Amino acid sequence: MSRKLTLNEIEAGIADRLLSGGMAYYLAVLVCGGLVLAATAAGVYSMVVGHEHTYNVTREVPWGILIATYVFFVVTSTGLCLVSSIGHVFGVESYMPIAKRSVFLSIATILAGFFVIAFEIKIPWRMAVYNVISPNLTSNIWWMGTLYGIYLVLMLFEFLFLNLNKHKPAVACGFGGAIAGIAAHSNLGAVFGLLMGREFWHGPYMSIYFIASAAMTGTAVIILFHWLGYKVNGEKLELDTPMVKSLDQVRKLGILLICVIIFFTIWKMVAGVAGMPGGKYEAIMALVKGPYAFNFWFFEAGCALLIPLAVWVLSKGKNLTLMFATSAMMIIGIFIMRYDLVIVGEVIPVYHELGVNEFQHILPYKPSFYEIIITLGGFCLAGFLFLLGEKLFAGHKVEAHH
């Protein structure tokens, strides 16, 4: 049985680890921290002067890149939770090594999502107060916010118990977190899917698609950040056989989930074109051969789905650097996927199919400088927490007896 460390020993250990980084590590921490501060300044300034002066959203296109970024981060967080739970919650041995880092990343990404959405909401603290004292039980947004709050608390406790090697409470919190994450995430899908005025989103598809898409994103993020984690700690991933085997299992799961998302995407396109349904057909055309065609074919179809599928199948998990590069490309593609999902659903005017002259064209939207800075701040917050976590928690090593 290992001896319990004193507070001074723990403090000394953390200090040593924080001072063990190279120049590139400290530069990355500095850049991430600086951009988080810049994003905070941009967000606070937008709150003070009013969003209409700093954001390019309009009455017709009320949700911009900040909503898309929030969706991206909570999708990623839920996916990390679901994939990591396969190991330490459901007992699949080969997924055990990824547990701690994946749970930590799920906390970092949900916090990044909350950071971005706080500046999208005009007065976020008012929302927090009224969420408790005046709940609207018929609102998907209320359920989503409340369940994500519960989810974050459960993930924090799960990470705590994993680090204390208390297996049973960690499993209980992990299981609760997975349930809360799925419930919250399907409600996020319903925020879009139950809007009858937006045909591109409307229907039960969104809630189901969001869950599958979350798990797919989770596999890409796990591979990317485990590769980076070993680089940050100056260790060779190739020499850690259990971790390499674990990441290979994640790759195989990723292949399955990419196929599922391709299947979903094809049928969404077919449903949007067959019979030329009003509102939906125009949105699909904007994606396939309109102003969003490059986003769709290059980023969504290429970077997020087809290229990773081909590389992951052909590489057979042997070339870890190639898997890392593909994961990075996949995450960029998935972010554009989220952006298109939110924006294309709004740029087709509600009166378009009625032939109203003022609404003949696709509505314009381009993110403002402030929106881009806050979006970058969200990514840098996740990166900053990841870099700090690698040193604070000594590379998230998993005990063998788990």
Query: Which tens digit of pLDDT belongs to each residue from 249-290?
Result: 999 999 999 999 999 999 989 988 888 887 788 889 989 988
Q: What pLDDT, on the 0 to 100 scale, is given for residue 364? A: 86
Burial track 58-85 (b if 16+ CB lie within 10 A, e otherwise): eeebebbbbbbbbbbbbbbbbbbbbbbb
Output the CA torsion sign for 80, 83, 88, 93. negative
Q: Is residue 399 part of a domain?
A: no
Alpha helices, DSSP H, located in 233-319: 241-273, 280-288, 293-294, 307-315
Q: Is residue 163 part of a domain?
A: yes
Q: What pLDDT, on the 0 to 100 scale, is given for residue 16? A: 65
Q: Is residue 375 part of a domain?
A: yes
CA distances from 293 to 94, 272, 297, 336, 366 (A): 40, 15, 6, 12, 16
CB atoms within 10 A of CB 128: 13
Q: Is residue 9 part of a domain?
A: no
Report the C-alpha dihedral over residues 277, 278, 279, 280, rounded to 10 degrees. 0
- Give residue 141's Cα distance to chain centre: 18
CA distances from 107 to 18, 29, 207 (A): 20, 18, 22
CA distance 113 to 214: 14
Q: What is the mean pLDDT of residues 387-397?
A: 77
Query: Which tens digit of pLDDT belongs to each residue from 338-377?
Result: 999 999 988 888 776 666 666 667 888 899 999 999 999 9
Does residue 198 contact residue 345 with C-beta atoms inside 8 Å?
Answer: yes
* CATH number of the domain residue 316 falls in: 1.20.1630.10
Q: Is residue 356 part of a domain?
A: yes
Residues 6+ apart with CB under 8 A from 270: none
Does residue 283 contact residue 344 with C-beta atoms inside 8 Å?
Answer: yes
Q: Which domain holds residue 91?
A: 20-392
Q: What pLDDT, on the 0 to 100 scale, is given for residue 398? A: 62
CB atoms within 10 A of CB 251: 23
Query: Which tens digit of pLDDT belongs to each residue from 106-158?
Result: 999 999 999 999 999 888 888 888 888 988 888 888 999 899 999 999 999 99
Q: Is residue 320 part of a domain?
A: yes
Q: How many domains, the chain?
A: 1
